[in-house]
Chains A and B, each alone.
Chain A
Amino acid sequence: MLEALRSASDLPVEEEELARRCGLPPDAVRGSLQRLRSKRLVVLDEAHEALRRITPRGEATLREGLPERRFLNALEHRGGTLSPEEAAAAGLDPEERSAAIGILRRRGLLEDGVPFRRRSGSEGGPVLLPEEVVLKQVANGEEDLDGAIFAALARRGLVREERRSVKRWAPSEEGRRLPLPAEGTEPIGALHPALLLSGEWKGRPFRPYDVRAPVPFLTGARPNPYISWLEEFEELLVGLGFEQAEGPLLETEFWNSDVLFMPQDHPARSIHDALSVEGVEGHLPSADLVSRVAAVHEGRPLPGEPRALGAGWPGPYDLTIAARPVLRSQTTAVSARYLARHPSPPFRMFSLDRNFRRESLDASHHIEFHQCEGILGAPGISLRDLVGIFRELAKAIGIRELKIRPSYFPFTEPSIEGYVRHPRLGWIEVFPGGVFRPEVVRPLGIEVPVVAWGIGVMRLAMVALGTNDIRELFEDDLERLRGGA
């Protein structure tokens, strides 16, 4: 390449011409020239040229005539007067017709008002309109033309200006002086299979690389940090002897709330808080289970038992509400389904999954959130075991300070919350839980005490991943995920 430039008599040489002279593809020439330039062996003279081109629409117009010409022709054909109806029948669409009338009036070729008439004195007007002249000039590749008319045609999409960069190259002073190796002893650049197979590399030097030169910025696939964090959290629970469970994301209100002894008119179940769906019909589970749950809601004894478990809730239990599908609002519904399968005690279950509440979207609230539900059931299990689990989980996520305060959930009694002290955020509420009420476990056929907790793991993840915006956990920026941003 350098040799071709040094021997050229018409410096600087256009890049495309240089490729032709060297018999190399343009991409290869471009790469080599950039390498030579980085070594200051060639200099670049770059210019930008404007090329005026006719568009396909312009070519069609050239063939069929500009709308204003076609309007004038129709006028001439009708003896110099044209009614709006005749103009409409002249083959121009309404947009073209309106544009043509405007242009002809501005050019003084058409009277104002209807019917349309040639302006008196303009009958012997220009043989060619200026727009027609410029359009033909552009089609013929002529350079010297009226710029204002060209711009007007460009706005009509009939012509366009293309800008192109022209690169011309010449050897630098250093490039002229540099001694070039004799034919056949050039250093080897990139190795390629043909070179290796032919043995042509033997006895030839290798072109040294600038090992300090910048290289492309590469990134690889990485696990999603939030999903990885959730998996690590699951690992903790598996280590503590918990078995994983899952449940439907679209759930009936029966499992989402009724089984959990939440009153059917509880505000959290209203249309303002729970997300319901259209066009889906839910069904109830076995009549036996439904009747047991209905009994505790209405404060009646369970079938076959002498006394009610408690006072229940005001009002009759409504099966229509129970069968309604809603987006699951708590993973406690998964616990209820698990318990309904009558696991043999002792059992430890966890479910870390998505839930949905009708929250406004902001930095700390999202409609969709992960919750980690856990239950622990065995003879002799008590609130102390729940506190013990909180302590172990806090320890496992690296937090030593924990304090407990009372809380309330319709399905647990007693209900408590564990607060942990975060070095930056202070005391934060992390572990809500309690002992399942008899009204929850007894209708499901569970006879041992069951403690339950539901951790808002997104909050913990935000702390662990160093973000203040919950929306960042729904990350879909590929650059950031690849670690490139």
Chain B
Amino acid sequence: MPQSVLSEERLRATLGVPVTPEQLDDLLFVSKAEVNGREGDALTISVTPDRLDLLSETGLALYLAGMVDAAHGLPRFSELALPAGAEFRVDRSVVPLRPYLAGVVVRAPADRTLDAGTLSEAIRFQELLHATVGRDRRAASLGIYPWEKLTPPIRYSLEPLSDVRFVPLDGPEEVFALDFFATHPLAERYGAFGRTGDRCLVLRDAAGSVLSLPPVLNSRSTGEARIGDRALLLESTGTSERVVRETLGLLLVVFAGRGWSVAPMSVVGPGDARSDGRSVLSPPPVDLPSALVGEVGGEALPAPEVERRLGRARLSARPHPGGWRVGAPPWRPDLLAAVDVVEDVLLAVPIRPEDGTVSPSYTQGRRRPETVFRRRVATDLLGLGFTAPHTSLLVPAARVESLGDPAPIRIRNPVSLELAYLRHRLFLSHIEVLAHNTRHGYPQRFAEVGPVVVRAPASEPGAESRYHAGLLLASESAGFAEVAALVDYLLRRHDLLGVREPAELPGLIPGRTARVRVAGEVVAELGELVPNLLAEIGVPVPTAYAEVDLSALWPLLGGREAL
């Protein structure tokens, strides 16, 4: 879950209503945020991925104010008008690389300027948004600039690297973009999103000053917001218009939620990059049918109660045929459809366990007949004195490769070479069990009923999950005859008669290996383990093994086990 460290003092100051730490914990428990730790003023909060707005002190305070009934309804912010020409001009050249851009200007209330807390909150929240909804800046990245130092319009274009010089935000002197991309760690990490060939993305104002090289770094001259600034430009560039709009809307909570006024920047440019910027400030309303609250929540709420709860959730509601038209602030991109609004209604008051209902069941519970069959086989094996390990479907690369078996499917991105292949026979896991138990005495007898995955090119996933029963005997007298007898017994238990035929299988002695067929279908394989494998894992006694394909047996039983 996304997590961040907030200032508890700032949160309380923004909330403006006294709450004890215990009350805060309780309030957060019934929200989509959670306290993970406290150290001094540092409050570590995690949130569910749909409510990133709660990872800013301002966003969390707005929510809590609703929950303690200190505020109600949609947070209001005043809108500014920008002078003519205060706009973005998007050049066609950016379209193949990073076509979308949105921006707003925010201005502090008359009696305030940008303070350290707000700047720090904005920068921290900006980085969090990069890492989450911005998909590590690939989908969208944000910039914050001192508006009063800029000369609009702002041009967004691809420029030759050799034409771009700027002072990086973290650097002492002016550098050429060519050097910047070659040497700067942020360029190494994000450069590919903002550069193509010998050109890079540049935001530049009408005076020719470079604001930033999106999505890598701002310039120091016109790209550094400072304490005392009165107005800021917030912009977002990216590969998806919606993600660009949503990230900018989320960042806006830090300013709009604190009373800063907001002005959308229009975007002049090619294709669907063009906009008047208003969509950032006014997400489309969601129509909430009145019946849906009762259908999803299980209880029809009176209209005033629905409206009260929407107000607590800091949403607006105005009557609309059949229900309400619900308005949300720009920092609530999670409200995709009516059910998302229903959730806010239902969660605006705590859900109690006693609210749960247990409807009478009109269905008859049952296990899958095939599972019942497998379980019977497992019980038979237990009755035969076999110990029952529980092993992973994933097996070590070294074992598969030493057996030279091409059948197992290899994991493309394994966490460890110990869990690098999908077993196609339980045998691969059971060799490991044998190897892990050499410190114990012999005889050893163990068996397991478990899944395997075999290639099946015609199936939807390209492979089929099957269930096998594997049984292993390691003792001075273990041999082919005993495992063959056991397989015969397991088949006989289900009124089946198998026919053995010679076979060759990796890890088993040629000439002492067999396949068992029932009605022409291969249902089992068995044999004695090759001595070099036993020597490799340190087993000093003969070992015999059998593996029964229960998924092959099941159809042969014709559903008898279901009865």
Q: Which residues of A contact B242 (CB under 8 A)?
A: 311, 314
Task: Answer yes or no: B558 CB below 8 A from chain A CBs.
Answer: no
Most buried by B among A275, A418, A474: A275
| Inter-chain contact B436/A241, CB cutoff 8 Å | no
| Inter-chain contact B365/A414, CB cutoff 8 Å | no
The CA of A335 and the CA of B33, in the complex, are separated in Å by 28
Against B, the Cβ 8 Å flags (1 = close, 0 = not) of A347-379 are 110000010101111000001100000000010
Q: Which residues of B contact A361 (CB under 8 A)?
A: 415-416, 419
Q: Which residues of A contact B459 (CB under 8 A)?
A: 248, 283
Q: Which residues of A contact B390 (CB under 8 A)?
A: 224, 226-227, 473-476
Task: Answer yes or no: A237 CB below 8 A from chain B CBs.
Answer: yes
Task: Answer yes or no: B422 CB below 8 A from chain A CBs.
Answer: yes
Q: Quick one: given A413-B340, A475-B389, are A315 and B298 in contact (CB under 8 Å)?
A: no
| Inter-chain contact A325/B367, CB cutoff 8 Å | no
The CA of A278 and the CA of B422, in the complex, are separated in Å by 11
The CA of A390 and the CA of B355, in the complex, are separated in Å by 11
The CA of A180 and the CA of B297, in the complex, are separated in Å by 92
| Inter-chain contact A227/B460, CB cutoff 8 Å | no
Task: Answer yes or no: B462 CB below 8 A from chain A CBs.
Answer: yes
- Of the four ranges (under 10, 10 to 19, 20 to 34, 35 or more), the interface on chain A belongs to 35 or more
The CA of A468 and the CA of B446, in the complex, are separated in Å by 25
Shortest distance between the CB of A431 and any CB in chain B (Å):
10
Task: Answer yes or no: B42 CB below 8 A from chain A CBs.
Answer: no
The CA of A223 and the CA of B382, in the complex, are separated in Å by 7
Shortest distance between the CB of A448 and any CB in chain B (Å):
10
Shortest distance between the CB of A107 and any CB in chain B (Å):
39
Count A/B pairs, Cβ under 8 Å. Answer: 284
Task: Answer yes or no: A242 CB below 8 A from chain B CBs.
Answer: yes
- Tell me the B368-408 residues at the A interface (CB within 8 Å): 368, 370-371, 375, 378, 382-394
Which of B5-13, B14-22, B173-181, B343-351 interfaces with chain A?
Answer: B343-351
Q: Quick one: given A475-B390, A476-B433, A478-B437, are A282 and B460 in contact (CB under 8 Å)?
A: yes
Against B, the Cβ 8 Å flags (1 = close, 0 = not) of A147-160 are 00000000000000
Which residue of chain A is the closest to B359 with respect to CB atoms? A385
Q: Which residues of A contact B387 (CB under 8 A)?
A: 221-222, 478, 481-482
Task: Answer yes or no: A406 CB below 8 A from chain B CBs.
Answer: yes
Task: Answer yes or no: B457 CB below 8 A from chain A CBs.
Answer: yes
Q: Which residues of B contact A304 (CB under 8 A)?
A: none
- Tell me the A439-485 residues at the B interface (CB within 8 Å): 439, 449, 473-479, 481-482
Partner of B393, one of A267, A368, A406, A407: A368
Most buried by B among A227, A251, A478: A478
Shortest distance between the CB of A137 and any CB in chain B (Å):
34
The CA of A203 and the CA of B342, in the complex, are separated in Å by 93
Task: Answer yes or no: A172 CB below 8 A from chain B CBs.
Answer: no
Partner of A280, one of B30, B241, B336, B461: B461
| Inter-chain contact B48/A408, CB cutoff 8 Å | yes
Q: Which residues of A contact B409 (CB under 8 A)?
A: 250, 277-280
The CA of A386 and the CA of B359, in the complex, are separated in Å by 10
Task: Answer yes or no: B465 CB below 8 A from chain A CBs.
Answer: yes
The CA of A473 and the CA of B391, in the complex, are separated in Å by 9
Task: Answer yes or no: A405 CB below 8 A from chain B CBs.
Answer: yes
- Tell me the A380-419 residues at the B interface (CB within 8 Å): 380-392, 402-408, 413-416, 418
- Tell me the A235-291 residues at the B interface (CB within 8 Å): 237-252, 255, 265, 267, 271-272, 275-285
Which residue of chain A is the closest to B33 with respect to CB atoms? A406
| Inter-chain contact A280/B463, CB cutoff 8 Å | yes
Partner of B413, one of A271, A387, A403, A406: A271
Partner of A387, one of B240, B356, B440, B460: B356
Task: Answer yes or no: A171 CB below 8 A from chain B CBs.
Answer: no
| Inter-chain contact A279/B410, CB cutoff 8 Å | yes
| Inter-chain contact A385/B357, CB cutoff 8 Å | yes
| Inter-chain contact A381/B359, CB cutoff 8 Å | yes
The CA of A477 and the CA of B351, in the complex, are separated in Å by 45
The CA of A473 and the CA of B465, in the complex, are separated in Å by 22
| Inter-chain contact A384/B355, CB cutoff 8 Å | yes
Q: Quick one: given A243-B365, A384-B298, A408-B51, are A391 and B440 in contact (CB under 8 Å)?
A: no
The CA of A476 and the CA of B446, in the complex, are separated in Å by 9
The CA of A234 and the CA of B461, in the complex, are separated in Å by 27
Which residue of chain A is the closest to B406 with respect to CB atoms? A279
| Inter-chain contact B388/A481, CB cutoff 8 Å | yes
| Inter-chain contact B412/A406, CB cutoff 8 Å | no
Task: Answer yes or no: A31 CB below 8 A from chain B CBs.
Answer: no
Q: Which residues of B contact A358 (CB under 8 A)?
A: 413, 415
Shortest distance between the CB of A352 and any CB in chain B (Å):
10
Task: Answer yes or no: B215 CB below 8 A from chain A CBs.
Answer: no
| Inter-chain contact A223/B388, CB cutoff 8 Å | yes
Q: Which 5 A-B pairs have the closest CB atoms?
A: A387-B356, A382-B298, A241-B361, A310-B337, A384-B298
